[in-house]
Amino acid sequence: MKMKEAVFKEYGLSAKCFLEKFHQVRKGASDTFVLYGSKLEGILKQYLEARGVKDFDFLIALALVDRIKSELSDQCLKHV
């Protein structure tokens, strides 16, 4: 696990990066929906692991916090 954390740190792969990638990835013209779904699943799993999600209640809290943070102004985010 420490090696994985070191690689993520070295390449700037953070939970925020995974979340942004999850929202930005698009289905390629040659991708099947199965392949596209697999890409999304992999990115989402990396994000949840990076955030330390262990159970459903934590997942719900994380989704709520992420959604609320998306509505905050930059100034407010910096303060928080």
What distance in Å separates the CA atoms of residue 24 and residue 43, rounded to the nearest whole number? 11
What distance in Å separates the CA atoms of residue 30 and residue 71, rounded to the nearest whole number? 35
Mean pLDDT of the region 3-22? 72
- Place 7 in a pLDDT band, splitting at 50, 70 and 90: low
Report the candidate in 18, 19, 14 with the shortest Cα–Cα distance to residue 67.
19
Share of the chain above pLDDT 90, in %: 50
Domain residue extents for the chain: 2-79
- At 5 the pLDDT is 63
| Greater model confidence, 6 or 59 | 59
Report the candidate in 51, 42, 55, 49 with the shortest Cα–Cα distance to residue 69.
51
What distance in Å separates the CA atoms of residue 24 and residue 20, rounded to the nearest whole number? 6
pTM of the model: 0.70
